[in-house]
Structure 1
Amino acid sequence: MVHAQFVIKGFHSHTFLATSLLNMHANLGSIVDSNKVFDTLTKHNQVSWNAIISGFTLNGLHLESFDHFLQMKNEGIRPNIYTIISISKAVGQFGDMDKGKEVQSVSLELGVESDVQVGTAPIDRQEALELYVRMRHNNIKSDVYTYCSIFNATADFKYLHFGKEVHGMVLKSSRDMMVISVCNATVDAYAKCGAPEYRKKSFYEMEERDMVSWTTLMREEGFRPNQFTFSSVLVSYSRLCFLEYGQQIHGLLCKAGLDKDKCIKNALVDIYAKCGSVNEAKKVFERIFEWISNPDTVSWTAMISGYAQHGLRGCRSTL
C-alpha cells in the first residue's frame, strides 16, 4: 500500500525517498522488490548503493552483494565505511580469500581498516578457522581483529591445541597485538576449552585488565556475580560493540534468574541496540511491559537511541 501511494504521488524519481522504499522492502525480506526499486532510480548515489548492498547481505544473497559492490566502484561511486561493513559480512559468508583481499584493499584506501565494526564483521566460525590457516599459508599478517575472531571460534569448537598454536603466534608477534581485547579472548578460549592452568597463566600475565577480564575469571572460579556486576559488564560490552559476549551474559542472566531485573533489562536493551541487533533490543524492551510493569526513562531512551542510531522508526505508540 505504501509503495502504491509512493508511485501514485510521483515520488519514484526522488532518490532519497526511493532509497527509503528500497530499505523497507529489504528489511521485510522482499529483496526482489528492493532490487526493482533500485533499478528504477534514474541516478544512483552512495546512499542508494549502500542500501542495495546491505539489502542483499541482509537477505543472504552474498554474491549479489559483492557484484553490486564492484558495480558501485565501476560507476565511480566511492564506498564508505558502511559499504565496507556490509560487504565484509557478505564476503565472510562465502569465504573467498581473493574477494576478501579486494575488500581489504578498499578499506586501506579509505583508512577504515582499523574501525571496530569493520574488523568484527561476522563470519562463520568454521570458515574463520579455515581462512586463518589459508592466511598463514599465504604469509598474510594477522591483526587484532583476526586474533579475536580466531580465539572466539577456537572457544566455540573447543580446539585447545589450535588455540595454543594461535596464542604462540600472538606472543611471537609485536607488542601491538597484546591489547586487552586479544588477551581477554585468549583467556576466554582457554576457559571454554577446559584448560584452567593456561587460563590462569594467561590472566595473570596480562599487563592490563578490565571488567571483562575479571568477570571471565570470576565465572570460571565459581564466584556468583550479582545484577550490578552483570549490568556493569553489559555496559562495557556495549561500548566495545561485543554483541557475542553480550549474548553470552544474557544467557547467564537467564540461568541465574536475574533477567527480570530492571537495571539488567535496561542494559540489555542498550547493548543490543548499540551492537546493531535492534530486533533483539525491541524484544527485551517489550518484555519489560510483561514483567516489570512500565519501562522507565532509561529504558525508553535506550530503545529510542537504538532506533535513531540505525535510521529506524517505530517505537511503541504508548510513548
Structure 2
Amino acid sequence: MKYDDVPLVVYNFTYLLKVCGDKGQLRRGKQIHGQLVVHGFSSNLFAMTGAANMYANCRQIDEAYKMFDRMPDRDLVSWNTIISGYAQNGLVRMALELVVQMHDEGRRPDLVTVVSILPAVANIRSLRIGKAVHGFVMRAGLESFVNISTSLIDMYSKCGSVVTARLIFDGMENRNVVSWNSMIAGYVEGGNPEEAMNFFQKMLDEGVEPTNVTIMEALHACADLGDFERGVFIHKLLDRLKLGTDVSVANSLISMYSKCKKVDIAAIVFKNLQNKT
C-alpha cells in the first residue's frame, strides 16, 4: 500500500497491531505504533485502544496503561481492553480497581468486562472476590448469558466451591461444551473423580461431543480411580474423535495407564506418540 501511494487509514494500523499482540511481536508492534503516530492517528481513540491491547498482550501492561491514561475520551471498549489486560497479566486486584473507577466515571460494566475478570479471579482462587463479582452479575441481570454462567462455574470450582458451581450449572437453560468441561474439571480437582465420570457419561448421553479438554479431565478421573475399564473406553472414544495425535491427550493417556498399573500399554502409547515433549 505504501509503495503504491495508497492512503493509509486507521484500520490498517489497528489490524496490524492486533496481529502483533496475538503473536507477541512487541518489536514490530512498536514499529507500527510509531507509524501510527507519524500518520497523525496518535489521538484517535480506536488506534490508541489497539495500541493498548497490543502492549497488554505483549505483557507490557505499564505501556498499555500509558496509552489508556492519555486517551482524551474513553469508551466501553477501551475500558474493557485495559481491564482485560491487567486481568490477563495476573494483576486481578488492579483490574477490579479499574472496574470500580470505570463505574465511578459513568461507564457501566458489561458482559465483556465480567468475562475478562472472572478467569483471573479463578486463577488466584479468591472466593471472596468471586462472590462479589457474582453479586454484580446478579444485580446487572447478566446471569442468563452462557459464557458468564460458565465463567462462574469455573471460578467456583477452582475456588473449591463445587456445590455452588453445580447449582449454577443445573440452573442453566443452555450449556456449551465448556460448561460441561468446567464441571468435570471441578469434580476432578475437588477430589471427586467418581462424580466427574458420572458427569462425563451424562454429557455423552446428552449428545455433547467431547473436546481434548474433556478427554484429559476424564482420563485424569480414571487415573485417580485406577479404573482401567473406563480408561480403555475413553481411549477408544478419543481415537474415534481423532484426538489421539494431541500430545496433551496422549500424555494424559500414558498417565492413566501407568496409574492403572498397565505400564506396558503406556509404553506402547509413548512409542507411537509423535512430537514427544
Task: Using structure 1 for the length normalisation, give the TM-score.
Answer: 0.51
- Is the contact between residue 46 and residue 77 of structure 1 (CA under 8 Å) also seen in structure 2? yes
Secondary structure, aligned partner of 1:193: helix
C-alpha change, 1:114 and 1:153, in structure 2 (3 Å) is same
* Structure 1: 5+ residue stretches without partners: 201-214, 235-245, 261-319
Query: In structure 1, what is the equivalent of residue 188 of structure 2?
Result: 155
Larger Rg: 2
Query: In structure 1, what is the equivalent of residue 249 of structure 2?
Result: 249
Which of residues 41, 45, 51 is equivalent to 1:21? Answer: 51
Query: In structure 2, what is the equivalent of residue 194 of structure 1?
Result: 225
Map 1:125-204; keep pairs closer than 5 Å. Answer: 128=158, 130-132=160-162, 141-143=167-169, 149=182, 151-155=184-188, 159=191, 162-163=192-193, 190-196=221-227
- In the alignment, is residue 217 of structure 1 matched against residue 250 of structure 2? no
Query: In structure 2, what is the equivalent of residue 58 of structure 1?
Result: 88
Map 1:1-319; keep pairs closer than 5 Å. Answer: 1-108=31-138, 109-116=140-147, 119-120=150-151, 128=158, 130-132=160-162, 141-143=167-169, 149=182, 151-155=184-188, 159=191, 162-163=192-193, 190-196=221-227, 217-219=233-235, 223=236, 226=239, 229-231=240-242, 248-249=248-249, 251=251, 255=270, 257=272
- Is the contact between residue 81 and residue 118 of structure 1 (CA under 8 Å) also seen in structure 2? no
C-alpha change, 1:11 and 1:110, in structure 2 (3 Å) is farther
Counterparts of 1:180 and 1:230, CA distance in 2: 14
Q: CA deviation at 1:19?
A: 0.3
Secondary structure, aligned partner of 1:42: coil
- Is the contact between residue 53 and residue 82 of structure 2 (CA under 8 Å) also seen in structure 1? yes
AA of the residue aligned to 1:149: S
C-alpha change, 1:112 and 1:156, in structure 2 (3 Å) is closer
C-alpha change, 1:122 and 1:34, in structure 2 (3 Å) is farther
Query: In structure 1, what is the equivalent of residue 17 of structure 2?
Result: none
Counterparts of 2:154 and 2:241, CA distance in 1: 27
* Structure 2: 5+ residue stretches without partners: 1-30, 171-177, 255-268
- Is the contact between residue 129 and residue 153 of structure 1 (CA under 8 Å) also seen in structure 2? no
How many residues are paired up? 214
Counterparts of 2:88 and 2:117, CA distance in 1: 10
Q: CA deviation at 1:32?
A: 0.5
Which protein has greater RCO, CA pairs closer than 8 Å, 6+ apart? 2
